[in-house]
Amino acid sequence: MNAALMLCLLQEHLITMNTSIHTQAAIRTLSQAFAPLNCMIHAARKGSFSFTLVNEHGIARHSERLYPEQYESAEPLQAVIDRTRQALVA
């Protein structure tokens, strides 16, 4: 394997690793923000994932798909949280 190909593969691996770190942090933040609702994560792929908030009776209260630009920094993720909280009380 030549050096350029190895470097390309390493960069791709690091990007994937960083994305999963951001995804895991976003999932923790969402779970904490909406407790005691259960935050179910599904259909995670290509950096995006869906979350569904479920109440104590197993009824889904909100579902949404998030893309990296919505959760890789604090401000857009907080906007998702604020908008979702408003939807839950409406």
Domain boundaries, the chain: 3-89
Q: Look up the CATH number of domain 3-89.
A: 3.30.160
pLDDT tens digits for 17-73?
555 888 999 999 999 999 999 999 998 888 899 999 999 999 999 999 999 999 999
Instruction: Please list, in sequence order, all residues whose beta carbon lies within 8 angstroms of the beta carbon of residue 49, skipping any fewer than 6 positions away.
Output: 23, 27, 41, 42, 43, 65, 66
pTM above 0.85, yes or no: no
Terminal-to-terminal C-alpha distance of the chain: 58
Under a CB-based contact definition with an 8 Å cutoff, are residues 15 and 5 in contact? no
Quick check: 15 pLDDT over 60?
Answer: no
Where do runs of H (alpha helix) occur along the chain?
3-33, 68-71, 74-89
